[in-house]
Amino acid sequence: MQATSSLRESLVTGGKTVHDVTQDICSRVEDKPNKTWLGAMTLSLITLGIGAYAVFMLLWDGIGVWGLNKTVGWAWDITNFVWWVGIGHAGTLISAILLLFRQKWRMSINRAAEAMTIFAVICALMFPALHMGRLWLGFYWALPLPNTFGSLWVNFNSPLLWDVFAISTYFSVSLVFWYIGLIPDFATIRDRATNKVSKAVYGALSFGWDGAAKTWMRYESVALILAGLATPLVLSVHTIVSFDFATSVIPGWHTTIFPPYFVAGAIFSGFAMVLTLMIVTRKVYKLEDYITIYHIELMNIVITITGSIVGIAYITEFYMAWYSQVPAEGYAFLNRMAGPYSWAYWSMMTCNVISPQLFWIKKIRTSIAATFIISIIVNIGMWFERFVIIVTSLHRDYLPSSWAYFSATRYDVGVYLFTFGIFFTLFFLFAKFFPVINMAEVKSIIKTSSEKKD
Amino acid sequence: MKNNKKTYWKGIEELRNDPDVVKNAEREFPESITESGNGSSRRDFLKMMGFSIAAASLAACEAPIRNAIPYVNKPEDIDPGIPNYYASTYFNGGDVVSVVVKTREGRPIKVEGNEMSTITNGGITGQVEASVLSLYDNSRLRGPKIDQKSSSWEEVDKLVGQKLKSVNGKGKTIAIVSNTVASPSTNAAIAALKETYSTVEHIAYDQQSASGLLQANKESFGTASIPSYDFSKADVIVSFSADFLGGWVSPAEHSGQYSKTRDLTTKKTMSRHYQFEANMSLTGANADYRVAVKPSQEGLAVAKLYNLIASKAGGSKVSTGDVEINHLQKAADELWKAKGKSLVVSGSNDKAVQVLVNGINDMLSNYGATIDLSTPSYTRKGDDASMKQFVSNLSKGSVGAVVFFNANPVYDHPMGAAIASGLAKAELSVATNMVEDETASVCQVLAPDNHYLEAWNDAEIRKGSFSVAQPTIAPLFQTRQAPSSFLAWAGKDSDYFSFLKNNWNQWFSAENTLGSFQVFWDTVLHNGVYETKSTASAVAVDSTTVDSIAAPSASFAGNTSAAGASIAKNYKADNSGVELAIYQNVGIGNGSQANNPLLQELPDPITKATWDNYLTVAIADAQGLKMFEGETKLAELTVNGTTIEVPVLIQPGQAKGTVGLAIGYGRTNAGKVANGVGVNAYPFITEVNGTQSFNVTSGVAYKITDKPFKIAQTQTHETHMERDNVLRETTLADFVNDPAAGNERPEIATWLDEEDHKVAPGALSLWHGHDYNNHHWGLAIDLNTCNGCSACIVSCNVENNIPMVGKEEVLNRREMHWLRIDRYYSSDADVDDRVGLEQAAENPDVTFQPMMCQHCNNAPCETVCPVAATMHSTEGLNQMAYNRCIGTRYCANNCPYKVRRFNWFKYHDNEQFSDANPQMNTDLGKMVLNPDVTVRSRGVMEKCSFCVQRIQAGKLQAKLDRRKVKDGEVNVACASSCPTGGLIFGDMNDPESKVSQLLKVKVREGSKSSDKVTDNPRSFHVLEEVGVKPNVTYLTKVRNVDQKTEA
């Protein structure tokens, strides 16, 4: 498993020794928080506060504080939901699928990517909850629980219910997978801890890890099994999310292309988000030797591939709309391109189809600054993709009498900010208190002392 | 081991065998445990705490109790939960309609048409439907007032009696100002007042005056009355801006008649209707040929038609200037061909125009055929001249006392300001108005009348056709019926009921064949209507100066040449200035019911706008302005020197160079709902030939400013984008050749071994269908008879407790109406021109399509609900369980018809909506709620239920009687209020039901009973190819035009 081609360039640069790895990663946890971290944390808490106000008003007054109307019943809520779920794809993909494919370059990024996945899924879960008219009942009525309402059961035909299952399964498996990976590293921190509190907390977190060969063996088997379990989930979650639309009768939603298209889009946006966060983290935590240009380049290639898949999907949709000769379907797609929401459509096309193509140029895909900017652009584009699918399909469907226009209110924005607040608060807490790079795994790919140092 | 026989004593006392020890030997604790101290112990504390927590949590669980108190002595007629129906009569000025009032536990909650009326035949308008809420209007006066202070009726009677006496003594006029009074007994009461005070003068005016028509008829036939028109007998109808379906004279009556000529279910002929008008009216929208004509040309157009007919009839022509009017020659030819079976009407209030119209009808031999002079309508008797005289007398100070009898001229008369200032010169001013409106607020004495639902009354709607009103609830406030007040002030017994009954005894005892008068009276009250058998008028009471009672002469005696000369003077073919055509819209009407949110939020059938009036501007005159989602600009409108700001609405079909503005808005003292909504157009009304003219042809200018404004429209898209899966239409000629014309049934390709491998979309399904063993409810909607009048919308709102949400929320596109009427304009653009198709034609064809939940058998909403809150009934209904709904809105998104409505906010008991939605936010307003229908909470989805409460009630009744539900016994609120019979509801499982017969329903071969097909060649389902299999079926729209594309 640890065989590495001697021709391949080292994945970790800077001639790090095993001790260096421990030192570099653990010191972030052990040191006092630095000013950048404190500033960033304050900022995310402020965002969370503003968002919490919007959420409070939403719950106090009703869904009417949003800009939705009789024609457009979903807009920012489900757009944000799908967007966050999409972002939540990269982590598990990196850890699970790349683990199965023995892609070792994943080792220095999988920890943060998985954390991001879990936080993104938490953010995503906010929207199916908050978008409900009656959250106080919906949060448990949507679960198939035995109840005293007679024979009242959930509707297993509903894609929304499938979402409940798909997302909760994905969330739990991702969480377990992430946590199992953390155990040896927690043990390292525990072993280095100098104060009692740290020792106790990390001791508890590390579940009594003893580092025995047998333990390592079990650890690796569990990782492999969980990777095997998580792999189909990566594909299934967004497939099922896409069923929300694909199984409906609304032109622009009712499309069989959605499952692969959504999965590709999810990987696309997930990788972009991982890049955004990793570029910041490696800079702030000075982890340039662990997360190298090589990593970034590889991820950029994945972005180009998935971006192209998404682009082809857009074009295929147009082809199908023409080929089917269904007037409403044809209109829905023309309306995307030239209707009142054409600004959203062209934002999506520019961000998603054109911008990743720049990565064909080696100079751009190996440039930190360019990567950072494009990774953000891609995520803006992917947000617009969901907005375009949801809002432009709904706002002009079958009966022209009901055609309407949706405009966001400050509460739409506020609740979106709320999830950003959650996401970054959790991410910064993670970056401070958890080892951001999987030390145990990275140690397996650094050059051994017997090899010549670079 | 040795036995251990040692004994251990617990103490020396045991060894000694003390009595204490022996006594307590069996007890563990010899001394009783005592608590130290007298206060509360630790145990008490714990007990108290436990109890408090339990009590607190129990209290928190319990909802506040609202006691329902049962009757001590149950009233004989009232059974809780069982509605009672009473025949009565709706009064609002001259608008009088026979109705049936539904009451529950003594509260009137719904008004429906009286099917026994030979005038309306159960027809009704939206205003009548909505009037039940006006009963519970919070702005109604609670009792009499003197000088703005609450008072008693004794004091009012004393004061008014004194003052009237003194005014009468001085010989000054006592003016009674009212709208048309159609009640003979009320007229008799006023006559009684006249007997006591000789200077009493009764002046009647109408907001939408028909004074010119009355005068023309006086000149032509010797009597100032409006004959009764029978549109049902007309093969060719020509209307010059008479909105006879929307507001002209008697819309509920005319709608029913008109629809008979448009109905193609049993015949293959229909009337041809020409409409010449400036504004796009409801009637114009239904016309086969609608020609935009400027008001300044209207007289010339009528004169030209007169001359065209005269040349055929060989009569003398009138000499006026010529004018080029499209289709006028064609109309004349067809009118002549349909001689005796045609009808020409005009909405003009110019006597000269109406004389020529009478002349045309006379040449066409329409009198005695489509126009009946012998049974004139008594609902418009207002006289502009006497009103004008009154205003000048008032200003001169020769009027000593004024009694405003439910009239609000300060607001709704062009000389309102003069009246308001002149009132100061009168010794006494009294208003019987129900609210302290613009007029009442400047009067000294307020003697509020009862609402018509609290009152006894009678009406002679048409000569010989009576309608009676009986109270359906005791007066809610200290109000007194106005005729009672008149009787009291006349010094007579103020019991109006006895007065009324005595009158009837006098008038009809001769023709009573039912035995005693009481039996006769009870029968009349039960039926609500009475037709006198004698030809001579039994009731010769008219207190106004207008002579409308005399019998008309049969021959036309109008001075057409004088009329022609007047027209030549007042109209011109080439007026270059802007012209203002003031009109009355369908919802708010003349503004007297403006404080009714049901009407404010009723979308105008044409513009789909709510909560505002606006300047309708032709597309060509829009100066580049384009409306998007109701966003528009304010215009500065100047009429004869007065400038106001009013929003612009671009109206397809508006005559170029003209603008339209609706009356009924700009109320200042109507109440919370209406105050400040729109602008008042009454002051702009001008005069022509001595009568009011709604057309201002000179001195009008408007400038579109940069100031933004938003008009709350429920539909902002104009056209149907040529989607024939939405709307199917054809021409009469094509329909006669092929009844299925224009109704191409979609087919989809299949692998099945069918001919061409194509089947109807309904034949293919993933679903297995449902078994409807008992009933299968269905609704048929005839697009040809539906005229868009919107009575059904109001009826639905009242029946189903639908919240009104106010302008802001309509702007947010969140109106809650379960039933809407989609209005589509035709477009001139090519079918492939996607952007061009969004633009309506300059003068478009209009189609109305009522749209509500289609109750799909394969309902897309049902499959997507995660909690099964919406599901299918065993009778074909798509049901909503509000209690189960968690509000994901997925169902609404997945509804192809977009008929589901979400409760975005809490609309009941919420300060935010108390103004727009009083029926759920005030104790008074809540009395109107239908107890059979839940008031929905925030966060749940709702939609049309096919009035499931009515279905259940009908089934229960049938079950009690141990029989099957009879067809017609269960009817949905929309269909029951439809004046045209355009909506037909029934059981599709019953082959004999009206709906089954009409649609020719049968079960699809090899399918379950839910899967029905309709064999009526005109029938179609909207969006049939989506495959949702609706239970609402539409019949194609047929236009009686020669060529479909003709403008």
Q: Which residues of B970-997 are buried (b: 16+ CB within 10 A; e: fewer)?
A: bbbbbbbbbbbbbbbbbbbbbeebbbbb
pLDDT score for A384: 94
User: What torsion do the CA atoms of B874, B880, B884, B888 make, to the nearest 10 degrees?
Assistant: 130
Task: Provide the 3-class DSSP secondary structure of residue B401.
Answer: strand
A164 lies in some domain: no
**What band does B581 get if pLDDT is binned at 50, 70 and 90?**
very high
Range of the domain at A308: 18-141+180-443
Closest-CA residue of A relative to B900 is: A70
Instruction: Name chain A contacts of B864, Cβ cutoff 8 Å.
Output: 157-160, 247-248
Nearest to B887 among A138, A250, A338 (CB): A138
Percent of chain B with pLDDT over 70: 95
Task: Kindly state which CATH superfamily the domain B226-377 is placed in.
Answer: Dimethylsulfoxide Reductase, domain 2 (3.40.228.10)
Q: Is the pLDDT of residue B1046 over 50?
A: no
Indicate the DSSP class of residue A95.
I
Residue type, B784: N
Mean pLDDT of A61-84: 94
More confident residue, B482 or A7: B482
pLDDT digits (tens, 9 = 90+) for B687-722: 888 889 999 988 899 999 999 999 999 999 999 888
- Of residues B270, B264, B229, B588, the one with CA closest to residue B377: B229
SS3 B865: coil
pLDDT for the residue numbered A224: 87
Contact between B886 and A134 using a beta-carbon 8 Å cutoff = yes
Query: B576-713 maps to which CATH number?
Result: 2.40.40.20
pLDDT for residue A349 is more than 60: yes
Who among A249, A331, A401 is closest to B717 (CB)?
A401
Is the dihedral angle over the CA atoms A420, A425, A426, A430 positive or is it negative? positive
Task: Tell me, yes or no, whether A386 lies in a domain.
Answer: yes
What letters, b where the CB count within 10 A reaches 16 and e where it falls short, cover B504-537? beebbeeebeeeeeeebbeebbebbbbebeeeeb
Which chain B residue lies closest to A63 (C-alpha atoms)?
B904
Which residues of B fall within a CB distance of 8 Å from A147? none
User: Does residue B70 register a pLDDT over 90?
Assistant: no
CB spacing of B902 vs A63 below 8 angstroms: yes
Helix, strand, coil share (%) of chain B residues, nearest 5: 30, 20, 50
**pLDDT value at residue A145:** 85
- Fold classification of B729-1039 (topology level): Alpha-Beta Plaits (3.30.70)
Residue A177 in contact with residue A265, Cβ under 8 Å?
A: no
Is residue B1047's pLDDT more than 70? no
Of A69, A128, A154, the CB nearest to B813: A69
For CATH 3.40.228.10, the residue range(s) in chain B are 226-377
Domains of chain A: total:
1
Confidence of residue B953 (pLDDT cuts 50, 70, 90): very high
Query: What's residue B612's pLDDT?
Result: 92
What sign for the dihedral angle of Cα B284, B285, B288, B292? positive
pTM for the full model? 0.89
Residue B482 has pLDDT above 80, yes or no: yes
Note the pLDDT tens digit of each residue in B699-708: 899 999 999 9
Q: Which tens digits make up the pLDDT trace of A255-295? A: 899 999 899 999 899 889 888 988 888 888 788 888 888 88
CB-nearest partner of A399 from B809, B897, B901 = B897
- Find, in chain B, the residue whose alpha carbon is nearest to that of A400: B720
Measured CA to CA, the distance from residue B497 to residue B672 in angstroms comes to 33
Q: Which of B302, B213, B92 is nearest to B693 (CA)?
A: B213
d(CA B452, CA B611): 25
Point out the residue among A157, A399, A401 whose CB comes nearest to the CB of B863.
Answer: A157
Contacts of A393 (CB under 8 A, 6+ apart): A245, A250, A251, A252, A253, A332, A336
Q: Is the pLDDT of residue B545 over 50?
A: no
Among the partner-chain residues A132, A158, A404, the one whose CB lies closest to the CB of B887 is A132
pLDDT score of B379: 87
Specify which residues B764 forms β-bridges with.
Answer: none
Is the pLDDT score of A3 beyond 60? no
Give the pLDDT confidence score for residue A21 in this predicted structure: 78
pLDDT at B1019: 92
Contact A68/B904, CB-based, under 8 Å? yes
**CATH 3.30.70.20 residue ranges in chain B?**
729-1039
Of B115 and A446, the structure prediction assigns the larger pLDDT to B115
- pLDDT computed for residue B33 by the predictor: 58
Q: Is B783 helix (H, G, I), strand (E, B) or coil?
A: coil
Which of A79-83, A144-148, B17-21: highest mean pLDDT? A79-83
What gap in Å lies between CA B939 and CA A66, rounded to an integer? 13
Q: Which two tokens stand for residue B257?
A: 């008649």
| Whole-number pLDDT of residue B26 | 73
- For the cut 90, the answer to whether the pLDDT of residue A147 exceeds it is no
For chain A, the straight-line distance linking the first and the last C-alpha, in angstroms and rounded, comes to 24
Which amino acid is it at B687? E
Looking at residue B544, its pLDDT comes to 57
Cβ-based burial of B958 (10 A; exposed 0-12, middle 13-18, buried ≥19): middle
Instruction: Please write the tens of the pLDDT for every residue from B619-649.
Output: 998 888 888 888 999 999 999 989 999 999 9
Q: What is the pLDDT of residue B894?
A: 94
The kind and range of the H/E element at B339 are: none
Instruction: Using CA coordinates, name the residue in chain A closest to B831.
Output: A327
Q: Are A133 and B902 inside 8 Å of each other by CB?
A: yes
CB count, 10 Å around CB of B923? 9
A403 and B1023 within 8 Å at the Cβ level: the answer is: no
What average pLDDT does this structure show over A358-363? 92
Report the distance separating Cα B550 and Cα B537, nearest Å: 9
The pLDDT of residue A431 = 87
- In chain B, residues under CATH classification 2.40.40.20 are 576-713
SS3 A426: helix
Residue B867: its pLDDT value, please? 92
Average the pLDDT over B365-376 and give the result. 88
pLDDT band at A1 (very low <50, low <70, confident <90, very high): very low
pLDDT digits (tens, 9 = 90+) for B234-290: 999 999 999 999 888 888 899 999 999 999 988 899 999 999 999 999 999 999 999
| B111-115 own/partner pairs: CB under 8 Å, 24+ apart | B111/B798, B112/B795, B112/B976, B112/B977, B113/B252, B113/B976, B113/B977, B113/B979, B114/B87, B114/B467, B114/B528, B114/B529
Picking from A240, A249, A326 by the largest number of B CB atoms within 10 A of its own CB, the best residue to mutate is A249
Residue whose token pair is 């039996």:
B519
Q: Would A158 be classed as within a structural domain?
A: no
Are the beta carbons of A161 and B888 separated by less than 8 Å?
no
Cβ–Cβ below 8 Å for A70 and B1026 = no
For residue range A12-69, what is the model confidence (pLDDT) as tens digits? Answer: 666 677 787 788 778 888 888 888 889 999 999 999 999 999 999 999 999 999 999 9
Tokens 């045991």 appear where? B14
Q: Pick the residue of A147, A326, A401, A406 with the most B CBs within 10 A to test the interface with B by mutation.
A: A401
Tell how many helices (H) and how many strands (E) occur in chain A: 19, 0
Three-state secondary structure of B105-127: CCEEEEEEECCCCCCCCCCCCHH
Contact state of B860 with A138 under an 8 Å Cβ cutoff? no
CA distance B869 to chain A (A): 9
Q: What is the pLDDT of residue B35?
A: 55
* pLDDT tens sequence across B815-873: 999 999 999 999 988 888 888 888 888 899 999 999 999 999 999 999 999 999 999 99
* Residue whose token pair is 């009565």: B88
Residues on chain A touching B719 (C-beta within 8 angstroms): 400
The answer to whether position A13 is within a domain reads no
Helix, strand, or coil here: B386? helix
**Does A2 score more than 50 pLDDT?**
no
Half-sphere exposure of B671 (CA within 13 A, CB side): 23
- The answer to whether residue A11 is domain-embedded is no
Say whether B721 and A400 touch across the interface (CB within 8 A): yes
pLDDT at A7: 57
Specify the range with the lowest mean pLDDT, choosing from A102-106, A365-369, B131-135: A102-106
**B865, B889, B937: residue with CB nearest A73:** B889
At A350, the pLDDT band (50, 70, 90 cuts) reads very high
